[in-house]
Amino acid sequence: MKFIDEFRDGALARRLSSAIEREANGKLAYNLMEFCGGHTHAISRYGIADLLPSNVRMIHGPGCPVCVLPIGRIDNAIELAARPGLILATYADTMRVPASKGLSLLKAKARGADIRMVYSSADAIRIARENPEREVVFFAIGFETTTPPTAVAIRQAQALGLSNFSVFCNHVLTPAAITNILESPEVRQLGTVPLDGFIGPAHVSTVIGSQPYEFFAEEYCKPVVIAGFEPLDVMLAILMLVRQLNEGRAEVENEFTRAVCREGNVKAKALIAEVFELRSSFEWRGLGEVPYSALRIREAFRTFDAEARYGIAYRQVPDNKACECGAILRGVKKPTDCKVFGTVCTPDNPIGSCMVSSEGACAAHYTYGRFKDIPVVAVAS
């Protein structure tokens, strides 16, 4: 298919693979973090790790919107959905995330809550217009990619005078999460997590541009290469990172020039600024409370803020003790370092959030790569 096959070409992949092999210094180790779940998914789905030399290691980052959502926020959404007459509109990814008391949105739905899966915030608006006698709440999650559509929905609701529509806002910010990882004791002081460079977000960067990453490159001396979500994008970004490291450079480079510019999407950014403001702190699963890392709805749009409308009270809920999602999201541990990985915790019965979304490090490894943990000789004819 046009515009797809070009970015998944096997012959080009082999050439890039040998270029990386030639470029990577055998005496050095290259520990590269792909921030985004989209990259994690691509790496696992296309078997990119098979095409890298052994001293180039990919560390999965926290950029999976579903994975970083803390249990307390899912609990809040379930409480909302349990209100009589209320319709909760949500992206499908959040449906299976485990919450307190063995619940999830999917299970709450089975028990009678009116929860509807939507593809976009516009669908939530449509549901509100079609059900004027019902309250409709859009469970807004995600990084900067999904934030502008939520802003559009809020503005549209205002223009339409939709009094039965509100948004439970859980939008989070990428740069704050990267700072948090770079500032973590494991990276900064202990050096237990070697982290040499970043593959920067694809879709997020189409909105925020490449400029916000310049700070990391400069301040922490870590190269960043922004890359698209196609497998060849990822391979090329790895090659560019290896080159930067070999040459002692720490710059922001843009592999994803077909969609990302330095300034990003100016209109979308203005829209975000108009509707949202920074929260002083927000809890992330795995990272804990991260200052100035999330958005809330501005006073001017308060009538559309579900938190204000329903007096939602946030309660912190600790993760399951055996679950290593926190360490995995920070790159401190690999999925296979977790005792419950693939035993108690599987995609069908997830304990931690990393096992839920197909972009989560655990789900991606379980689904696409777990045969690699076991020596199986299998060759196709």
Binding site for another protein (CB under 8 A): 1, 4, 8-10, 13-14, 17, 36-38, 41, 44-51, 64-65, 91-93, 95-96, 106, 116-119, 123, 141-143, 145-146, 203, 231, 347-348, 357-359, 363, 366-371, 374, 376-381
**Least distance in Å: CB of 15 to another protein?**
10
What does the DSSP assignment read for 292-328? T-BEEE-GGGGGGBHHHHTT------PPPTT--HHHH
Nearer to another protein, 242 or 355 (CB): 355
Nearer to another protein, 245 or 355 (CB): 355
**Least distance in Å: CB of 370 to another protein?**
6
Query: How far, in Å, CA of 120 to CA of 122, rounded?
Result: 5
Query: CA–CA distance from 90 to each of 65, 69, 75, 97, 167 (Å)?
Result: 13, 14, 14, 12, 10
Angle at 202 between CA 199 and CA 208, to 5 degrees: 105
**Least distance in Å: CB of 17 to another protein?**
7
Query: How far, in Å, CA of 146 to CA of 75, rounded?
Result: 21
**Least distance in Å: CB of 64 to another protein?**
7
Cβ atoms of 57 and 29 within 8 Å: the answer is yes
**Least distance in Å: CB of 336 to another protein?**
14
Query: How far, in Å, CA of 213 to CA of 219, rounded?
Result: 10
Round the CA-based radius of gyration of the chain to a whole number and report it. 21
Angle at 211 between CA 206 and CA 217, to 5 degrees: 120
Residue with the two structure tokens 């997590």: 193
**Least distance in Å: CB of 335 to another protein?**
14
Nearer to another protein, 75 or 93 (CB): 93
Nearer to another protein, 147 or 184 (CB): 147
Nearer to another protein, 143 or 282 (CB): 143
Nearer to another protein, 40 or 166 (CB): 40
Query: How far, in Å, CA of 321 to CA of 220, rounded?
Result: 32
